[in-house]
Structure 1
């Protein structure tokens, strides 16, 4: 819980030449700073717990999530093994441990990928269950993008369905597009920055000339993806790059996520994102020759 606004407000009010300045500053600090921040923290915390299948769980949210996972997965055509794995990981994250709860999740997934799935009806139910908690919507969209990227490619129909879902949940298409592009950039950056190999697909060693050219291409691609991960343009100032890095690292810091009640499984996912963010920042830093 934040008290900073009230403390600063009271301190400033103390030095103002008006009656009851301290009290007025205290009230304004609460209204303009502490109250909004405390509400955001409360929403973020409840967002994490909302996806846990425990006593008092939100069954509508759980069912709706798996139905939408099925809907997105079906957009890529035949359901693939990688997509089933994502759905299983979501069950584990939500603590769907008993056979009955897992059966319901599978039923919802199959319903979502069916021809008669009513997206309007399901998203209306979800919006009623979630209310104004933007944190829950944010987590849900993250999960859906993971499903679309299960096979490392977002098909055109998967992309359309993601944007369609976002719109119906009150999220601008531009925000959904940005989320998709950032996740793709993270995946490509991982592949180029960590996964470069000196071998061809057939297993034969490359010539030193081929290896040098491929390495340079991978480096250029990684740098471009690094900027996309931080959400800044390649022409951004170094100060803008540093601020974006700091903001994202704070957002995905494990201690901060734990304090908000985010499930352990999701914290592990976000910890990997934090590693990508740091690696992207280091990549840009080296490319620019910056020292700090």
Structure 2
């Protein structure tokens, strides 16, 4: 499969668990090569969709194709070209990074010792772990463990890369290093970044979708989604005891504390009052307005 032909198509996919939870509700997405953000709160259905794409579970209905590969019925073919970094993964704390990556390379089918050593060396350098290759994984920081997970996922030059909540728990410096690594991967592969952190999508992704309760609420290019709500986001700083009244009278999409007071963002097509100031929107405003149901453009955002 040539890089130019890379395209992941998800059509009408649904999944209900035995306990009755509807995790995916007729999800349809078209995902081209590059970085694609799947944004939503915990429990929105992101991990269910990622596990389905990674062939770890089957949907109840729908179709998924990666180029010419049927993801549901050709699991072995998908796994040959798949890199998957789940939200949580186990490592052997007493194993050294280089040794364990070599072991995973054998499992991936790289049986020639010389070529395998070349691949392992290249991946450790690409993930900035070469200087730590003799260190035991138990002594790795959270960000180093995530980067090692990427190295494992990159074995075999995957055409589809899935990363689930990759920056949760990372300190700011590790997060920046990790995001820079992911951005490089998007140049050659379909890379799906599943996260609840808006900044990750804003900084990395050329396309995105917002999912909640198993439904796709919005699919768009981040910059176009932000432009769509230009002039509709208003800000006001209030005391905490004023919040209920403001929520009663206006479409409050988000609140945060600032210096002991509460900053509210309101979605309105007209000035909601003299105490409000209009502010330039960002992707966080897109996310919260969509989740609140006040941004009525629920599918493709067009210029």
If the length of structure 2 is used for normalisation, what is the TM-score?
0.24
From the two aligned structures, give the one with the greater strand fraction: 2
From the two aligned structures, give the one with the greater helix fraction: 1
Q: Greater CA radius of gyration, 1 or 2?
A: 1
